[in-house]
Structure 1
Amino acid sequence: MVSELSRTLQDGYVSYGWERRMREFLSVPFSSSFLSILLLPKASDQGASHYNDLEDTLARANAWLNASQVSGVPIVFMNVQTESLLTKISGKTGSSTVNAGPLSGLSNLPNASLYGFEDYHGVDIGVVRAVRLWYASLGGEFAIEIKLREDDTKLGFAISRTEEGFLFISSVIDDDENLPSTRSGLKRLYKEASNSSSLLVVSRVANQKVLPWIVSSIGAIRCFDTVSISQKLSMHRHAKVPITIHVLLWDRACAFPSDSNMSRAATPSVLPLPSKDQLSRRLDEDLMQLMLPEFPNESGVVDDGEETDGDRVQLLPPEVPNESSVVDDGLEIRLERDTAGGILL
């Protein structure tokens, strides 16, 4: 009996129907509802051999979130973490980060954005510490299906972009009840967002996420440009093919009007996001925990970096979307910029 009581519990693997679950329990099949942006440490010199410390990256993430909220983007903070990205380093960068000795720079390591080590083959490997900021929409995502008719010559709304990289509906045509923007319920949502001092942010187009997702080492935000989005929507209008866009809601009650013809994709019953008050209390508790004299564990995803030459550690090419030109693919697509700097469709 004593030996039976001390027997080790057994564990093992069981099969799970991932494919079916991802089809049935996600509002957009095979696509998560988790929202985040990854910020790489900012290069402190033109050669990209030195980077600002971790506190600078955290401060930029904090500023981006606050600026987004002030501009009217209906999002709330959820979590922040560091992610370790591997890259090959050489030259002065390698000597300054690898040959500093095993203990000499240990006290500065918690706030370092780049440190290195030498592998068994004598190759200098750099570990870049990026910051991933997780956030959520106050009211969740909402799907709007825009159906087209043969006599539709315009969609009836304009798309612009905030400085933080969010696409949003910047204006709608108000004097025509037969436009797709009115029939789909987009105009109603736009007016409610304006009355609530919120932006009607577009989170997906044709089920593809169009939110900003990374900040490069030069500080550029990688996001979608309004021209390509407007061109895609215009092509659907010319082809008379319906298209679904998702928007971020500031209040979940806005998704269930009693007198709306809005098309809503069937979504499974899931646990709702916590309320704004609950999230605020949670943020206060997290901040209090951060003030305690503890050293939190850092979790991250290790990724392969890029191989660079000389002293340069290239984390991301300085690719900034270009909105100066529109490709005309044989269709007579007229894109007119509105006064808000967006594209009128």
Structure 2
Amino acid sequence: MPMDYGKRQQGGGVVAIECVAGGSRAEEWGTGCAETVQTGDVVEELLIGVGGRGGPAVHAAPFKGGRAALQKLLHAAYKRRDTSVEVRVRRPAHARQQLVPGESDSSGELLGPGSDAAAARMQACIVPQETGGGGGGMAMYVLRSIRDPNYAVGLVDRSESECVAFRGSRSSRVVCALSKAQLQDGYVSYPWEKKMKEVLPVPSASSFLSLLVLPTALDRANSRYNSVDDTLARANAWFLASQAAGVPIAFLNVQTEALLTKISGDMASATVNSGSLADLPNLANASLYGFEDYHGVDIGVVKAVRLWFTAAAGEMPVEITLEEGDTKLGFAISRTEEGFLYISSVMEDDSDRPTPSTRSGLRDLYREAKRASKLLVISRVSCRKVLPWMVSTSGAIRCFDTVSLSQKLSLHRHALRPILLHVLMWDFGTDAPNRPQGAPCPTPQPSPAFAELLRQNSFSWVDNQPAQADGEPGMVQGRDTAGDASFRFHNFSLPNNWV
């Protein structure tokens, strides 16, 4: 039987409840809070071994030794794996609130001690309390709710007046709980492989494209480089020139990228030193700066520029299926000065047998690109990216060779293996604005008027040429495969690559 409230008040000390892990249920502060064990409730009884043989061991207040005595009981029960408990608490009536009519303060006033006390109970299990530090001594235990495993309470020594004061105002309890509330974080598994195959336009491949522009070297020893501003200008010029040539790409972002290298000799003496904070202002526009590691080795940091872009309207897969008797794929591949591979010509069907480019729809895409004054740029071959990806310190653009690509596609034709191409798409609903030839272009825009005229001339050249018959020598196109210069590592004499 619970003790009389007057006798307990004389004793002064009680064992009270303190929340140590917040629950996920809203009823803690809602209308059902009277049935929930909360901080400030006074422990009346602790039943250990609920559901076991012979019934639970009942320990009733007053608890000689207070919280320490109950912790010993919990420790002994945990050691013998008798962890099912029930805690019964008392909530003094004068700690509950009722609103005084006419008062604007929502906290209300306390009921008098003559009213009945509210009771609550909680089914729980004994678990060790997680502490940040180590050390010896007996472990401390808390009671974790069976109903809500996220809710756990501990036992503390309090005076009756402290419990009354704490339970006296609901707003103060909410503020106290808010001050102790902690956001929990953790790791959750994620089906990366499945998502990459299902949600990406090109399975397991990113739609983010980039070009790494290295700073231009000012001497053959690569000891001095142009500034970061010069590298940014080169990246900007490459992007605008690509758009002007008809490549359907859109700007995403630009950033500097630090590349580590070992330096010595003239390069070490020519670099900006970053040995102290006073040297930081000198690094703002420097493309190369150095420092010494703890071994005394000179380390150089080259600041390159990475330009991020993407297809203007995504990438479209085109599968070219091959059949017995196909002697030509029916299209030619060229490369822009900026390093993009594109379909430069398609063959018209000269018989009842359509070419692979016609069967796959590549010819129709080419015609749509020509009407939109865009280039039909190849972005991937067999899901491998074939776009330009780097500019060297000499200014050369690293890109793919048209001859080797034509040879690979011809091998597909001989082996009757299907060819999977991805092409960059454009927005069919927008037209290129007109502007004078010498007008500046500060931001990435659709293709300017003078570039449109150039592309229209090249496209009209294709229309005026007769279709190539199977077995005839390759046609000479007005636009060279690799621009005015051949590929860097090979001396190509073929100006056009028909497959």
TM-score (norm. length: structure 1): 0.74
2:290 to 109, 116, 121: 116
Secondary structure of the 1:67 match is helix
Query: How far is 1:126 from its partner?
Result: 1.0
Name the aligned partner's letter for residue 122 of structure 1. G
Please tell me whether the aligned partners of residues 155 and 181 of structure 1 are also in contact (alpha carbons under 8 angstroms).
Answer: yes
> 2:236 aligned with 1:62, yes or no?
yes
Q: Which residue of 2 aligns with 1:343?
A: 497
Query: How far is 1:40 from its partner?
Result: 0.7
Q: Which residue of 1 aligns with 2:436?
A: none
CA distance in 2, matches of 1:275, 1:141: 19
2:367 to 177, 191, 213: 191
> 2:426 aligned with 1:250, yes or no?
yes
> 2:209 aligned with 1:209, yes or no?
no
Secondary structure of the 2:310 match is strand
Deviations 1:29-88 (A, max 9, x none): 221111111001111111100110000000000110111111111112111011111111
CA distance in 1, matches of 2:187, 2:325: 57
CA distance in 2, matches of 1:96, 1:41: 15
Distance 1:44 1:92, change over 3 A: same
Please tell me whether the aligned partners of residues 224 and 321 of structure 1 are also in contact (alpha carbons under 8 angstroms).
Answer: no
CA distance in 2, matches of 1:216, 1:104: 31
Deviations 1:78-135 (A, max 9, x none): 1101111111111122234365763554323111111111111111111111101011
Distance 1:134 1:178, change over 3 A: same
Please tell me whether the aligned partners of residues 274 and 280 of structure 2 are also in contact (alpha carbons under 8 angstroms).
Answer: no
> 2:203 aligned with 1:29, yes or no?
yes
> 2:311 aligned with 1:137, yes or no?
yes
Q: Which residue of 2 aligns with 1:41?
A: 215
CA distance in 2, matches of 1:82, 1:276: 31
Question: Unpaired runs of 5+ in structure 2?
Answer: 1-172, 434-442, 445-486
Q: Which residue of 1 aligns with 2:302?
A: 128
Please tell me whether the aligned partners of residues 85 and 127 of structure 1 are also in contact (alpha carbons under 8 angstroms).
Answer: yes
> 2:491 aligned with 1:324, yes or no?
yes
Name the aligned partner's letter for residue 143 of structure 1. P
Name the aligned partner's letter for residue 164 of structure 1. E
> 2:415 aligned with 1:239, yes or no?
yes
CA distance in 2, matches of 1:138, 1:103: 43
Distance 1:100 1:204, change over 3 A: closer
Please tell me whether the aligned partners of residues 98 and 118 of structure 1 are also in contact (alpha carbons under 8 angstroms).
Answer: no
> 2:177 aligned with 1:4, yes or no?
yes
Distance 1:156 1:102, change over 3 A: same
CA distance in 2, matches of 1:93, 1:100: 14
CA distance in 2, matches of 1:53, 1:139: 34
Distance 1:175 1:323, change over 3 A: farther
CA distance in 2, matches of 1:86, 1:147: 46
Deviations 1:196-247 (A, max 9, x none): 1111000011111000001111111110000111111000000111111011
Secondary structure of the 2:284 match is helix
CA distance in 2, matches of 1:168, 1:227: 13
Please tell me whether the aligned partners of residues 139 and 250 of structure 1 are also in contact (alpha carbons under 8 angstroms).
Answer: yes
CA distance in 2, matches of 1:76, 1:276: 14
CA distance in 1, matches of 2:489, 2:265: 34
Query: How far is 1:175 from its partner?
Result: 3.4
Name the aligned partner's letter for residue 19 of structure 1. E
1:218 to 369, 394, 398: 394
TM-score (norm. length: structure 2): 0.52
Please tell me whether the aligned partners of residues 335 and 341 of structure 2 are also in contact (alpha carbons under 8 angstroms).
Answer: yes
Deviations 1:290-314 (A, max 9, x none): xxxxxxxxxxxxxxxxxxxxxxxxx
CA distance in 2, matches of 1:59, 1:162: 20
Name the aligned partner's letter for residue 6 of structure 1. S
Please tell me whether the aligned partners of residues 256 and 303 of structure 2 are also in contact (alpha carbons under 8 angstroms).
Answer: yes
Fraction of identical pairs, as percent: 63
Provide the aligned length of Structure 1 versus Structure 2.
272
Please tell me whether the aligned partners of residues 223 and 270 of structure 2 are also in contact (alpha carbons under 8 angstroms).
Answer: no
Please tell me whether the aligned partners of residues 158 and 342 of structure 1 are also in contact (alpha carbons under 8 angstroms).
Answer: yes
Query: How far is 1:195 from its partner?
Result: 1.4
CA RMSD of aligned residues (A): 2.4
CA distance in 1, matches of 2:431, 2:288: 38
Secondary structure of the 2:354 match is coil
Q: Which residue of 2 aligns with 1:107?
A: 281
Deviations 1:144-186 (A, max 9, x none): 0000010100000000000100000010112336100111111
2:337 to 145, 160, 163: 163
Secondary structure of the 2:414 match is helix
CA distance in 1, matches of 2:332, 2:497: 5
- Report 1 or 2 for greater relative contact order, CA contacts < 8 Å, sequence distance ≥ 6: 1
Question: Unpaired runs of 5+ in structure 1?
Answer: 254-273, 278-282, 285-319, 326-335
Distance 1:55 1:68, change over 3 A: same
CA distance in 1, matches of 2:278, 2:206: 43
CA distance in 1, matches of 2:188, 2:497: 51
CA distance in 2, matches of 1:96, 1:44: 12
Please tell me whether the aligned partners of residues 250 and 312 of structure 2 are also in contact (alpha carbons under 8 angstroms).
Answer: yes
Secondary structure of the 1:6 match is helix
